[in-house]
Amino acid sequence: MIVVLCFSFAACKSTKRVANGKYLLWDNYVVVTEKHTVSPDNISPYIYQKPNVKMIFGLRFYLSLYNLAGIDTTKWINRTLRNWGAPPVLYDSTLTKASIENIEQYMRTQGYYQVKVKDSVVYSKKKAKVYYVVDPNQPYRIQNVSYNIPDTAIHNLITADSLSSTLRWRRRLSTEMLDNERERIALMLRDKGYFGFNKGFITYEADTLTNSAAIDIKVSIANVTTVDSTGRKTVSDHKKYKIKDVYVYADFDPVEFYSDASYLQKFDTLYTKGIYLMHSKGPNLRAEVIPRASLIFPGMQYKESDVTQTYNNFSNLQNYRSVTIQFRETNEMDNDGDALIDCEIQLNPLKSQSAKADIEVSLSSSDLIGFSPGLHYGHRNLFRGAEQFSLDFRGVFQYTLPGNKNRQNSFEYNISSSISVPKFLAPIRVSYFKKQIPHTKFSASYTYQQRPYYTRSVASGSIGYLWNSSSKLSFIFNPIDFNMVKMLLLEKNFYEGLQNEYLKNTYKDHFVLGLIGSVIYTNQNIDFLTRRYRRQSMYYFRVNLDLAGNVLSLFNSLMKYDEAGDYHMVMKTRYSQYAKIDFNFIYNKPIETRSNLVYRIVFGIGKPYGNEITLPFEKQFYAGGTNSLRGWPVRGVGPGQVRSDTISIPYQTGDLRLEANIEYRFPLFWRFEGAGFIDAGNVWSISSKDPRPGAQITSKSYKDIAVNTGLGLRLNLSYFIFRLDMGFRLHDPARELGEKFIPPNKWLNKNNYALNIGINYPF
């Protein structure tokens, strides 16, 4: 139905509402005559007039909605379509001329001061295509840099830090580079005690050399000019500042502050470790927690990096809606001649407790329906030390619909809990965390699984540390991570029907003890509730390393063997030994207005060794489901070309996973969003002992890539996103030769599609 609707819109004539003598602005094209200068993508934003927004397949959805409306605006349907849609953008030559001037101004900021921009317009069938031809010409490049700084102390700091300067010989001169250098100098000086220093004190003089594209730059930093009550001006060196008193308002309410002039008088004072802790209802955190988060203390020199880290530390406690840090001059000096300032930290607390529910639903055309409801309870401040406590319940239910000859059911129940403490709890002291707050996290979970041929339980636990080394880089390290897997029931015929010991090993009791480490690098702070991003290109990279059994192997000589004498046992259970690594890369690129192209690449591989011949089942990779290949159910793909015809509830897994996703997200109307996507990938076995034909990774495994496409509808309610995705299989590697590729006219046939319902974006 969605596909039919899209083609209906496409068939609607785009120039239907364009009057004679007028032209629909069809597109803008930017042509740069010299390669490797400025990208056309960087120039396009400076064009004033934009064509109607295009969506998937080039469809101008809003224009089509507008054109569907009738002329009679007294009718509700016509008014609604016009309000939801957008009128045609008519070509305006005056805006083209203004765009040329704007592009030239932008190019000059990039150092191309002799730029020339011309336009040409191609008219056809009431449509206008505008071409902007940009000739950059030769840019100016820096020859020499000199300084004019009357403040001796600042002059010494600048020259000592000259290697950090962005103004370097033969670099192309640009306004952006000059602004970045001003910001760098101002930040460096504020980090050296010069509170209030700003880039307005920094100016440049440029001297172009005769008949040359080379330019000399003089950097000037002005002294402070003050004017007294009589109008007399005084010029003096910049002051250095130190902290006098620190006031932390532990339960600050900005609404009451602005509505009640006597609000601050209601606060009581508690002095602790050099800080005045102000509270009106009693501190929500224990007194010792606040000084641990702050790097600002009386007598210290002002340092902006400490202010930023203090802000991050309080934010990372996850107990405050907002954190505000302000400074106030006292007009006092200390014995060293430095000016004194007071610091106020205003903390606006969040509610301590929260609860939420979510659900994921998947309906496969193979008569398999699955849903996974979840409940979450959280407490941000369990023992008044910013301890983050969580308790989660989740169920996973899969059913085959009546009429299926292999009708089977599957159930899974999970309860998990964790508590995160904002300090590094360890038997040794680590000086690395002097300026930041790491978190120590204790986790435990229990899972009960009842599948068609077996029932088992999984008890898990971990102790780990989480910390950020910068705004972009964060780490997770679990030195202790264990699983205890017990097979409670195993159908005899199923187990004996497995082809060899390799497959049978997957369904045995085992014990996992190891460590897990993760590194996360991103240029964007992500809202993990809604997975929403700001309007800028965003990348997110995560690598996970999982090692198990190596420490236990050091004590093999003390352990008993199994009955066959092949493997060592811990608590009468064989322990697993393996290495596993996986990568996840996401790139979110804004295009058009409010639209995004989002790419994801996932790769993972695991190898058992020593005391194990297979990866534990719960550690193996799988593909398919609401956040993976959306044309298949969870664990419904692979490994390789393997296909299961005997069971209705899939559990395909492998030692290696490769997956790529592309999703185009675009707004529709009101709070509704649309999406078009392509998912591709599979899992494989890397062991020669796996007896399943077609399961192993080989040089021809590119033929085993499963591919689906699909369309999605999302309802964005800000605090969460309700998602409906319909995936259609394009290439199914498990099918017979000649039937692997599936044409569009068969997408709605049995075993060719899946309907997925989820909360928030898939990635």
The 3-class secondary structure across 449-491, one letter per residue, is EEECCEEEEEEEEEEEEEEECCCCEEEEEEEEEEEEEEEEEEC
Q: What is the mean pLDDT of residues 665-694?
A: 90
Mean pLDDT, the chain, rounded, equals 90
Q: Using 50, 70 and 90 to split pLDDT, how confident is the model at 718?
A: confident
- Amino acid identity, position 739: E
Q: Which of 265-269, 280-284, 323-327 reaches the highest mean pLDDT?
A: 323-327
Higher-pLDDT residue of 212 and 264 is 264
- Amino acid identity, position 720: F
Cα separations in angstroms, 262 against 1, 54, 245, 342, 345: 62, 55, 21, 20, 18
Give the pLDDT of residue 513: 96
Q: Which of 250-264, 522-536, 641-655 reaches the highest mean pLDDT?
A: 250-264
Give the pLDDT of residue 11: 46
Q: Using 50, 70 and 90 to split pLDDT, how confident is the model at 535?
A: low
Q: What is the mean pLDDT of residues 735-739?
A: 90
CA-closest candidate to residue 468, choices 443, 432, 442, 441:
432
Q: Using 50, 70 and 90 to split pLDDT, how confident is the model at 1?
A: very low
Give the pLDDT of residue 534: 47
The H or E element spanning position 50 is none
Q: Tokens standing for 738? A: 């000649």
Give the pLDDT of residue 644: 64
Q: What is the mean pLDDT of residues 434-438?
A: 84
Q: What is the mean pLDDT of residues 335-344?
A: 95
Q: Using 50, 70 and 90 to split pLDDT, how confident is the model at 417?
A: very high
pLDDT for 758 beyond 60: yes
β-bridge mates for residue 150, sequence order:
none
Cα separations in angstroms, 472 against 25, 223, 539, 540, 552: 41, 35, 10, 9, 35
Q: What is the mean pLDDT of residues 84-101?
A: 94
Phi, psi of 590 (to 5 degrees): -70, 135
CA-closest candidate to residue 214, choices 111, 145, 139, 141:
141
Query: Measured between alpha carbons, how far is 330 from 404 in angstroms, rounded to an integer?
Result: 80
Higher-pLDDT residue of 715 and 407 is 715
Cα separations in angstroms, 477 against 468, 518, 664, 732: 12, 6, 34, 38
Give the pLDDT of residue 529: 32
Distance of CA 188 to the CA centre of its chain: 29
Positive or negative, the CA dihedral 371, 597, 53, 716 is positive
Per residue in 11-40, pLDDT (tens digit) is 457 888 899 999 999 999 999 998 878 899
Per residue in 187-232, pLDDT (tens digit) is 999 999 999 899 999 999 988 766 678 889 999 999 999 888 888 9
Distance of CA 713 to the CA centre of its chain: 21
Cα separations in angstroms, 11 against 4, 6, 55, 58, 723: 11, 9, 15, 12, 28
Q: Using 50, 70 and 90 to split pLDDT, how confident is the model at 309?
A: very high
Query: Measured between alpha carbons, how far is 444 from 459 in angstroms, rounded to an integer?
Result: 8
pLDDT for 706 beyond 80: yes
Per residue in 356-371, pLDDT (tens digit) is 999 888 887 777 888 8
Give the pLDDT of residue 593: 66
Beta carbons within 10 angstroms of residue 196's beta carbon: 15
Least confident of 118-132, 385-399, 520-534: 520-534
Give the pLDDT of residue 527: 39
Q: How far apart are the first and last CA of the chain?
A: 25
Query: Measured between alpha carbons, how far is 528 from 351 in angstroms, rounded to an integer?
Result: 18
Give the pLDDT of residue 536: 72
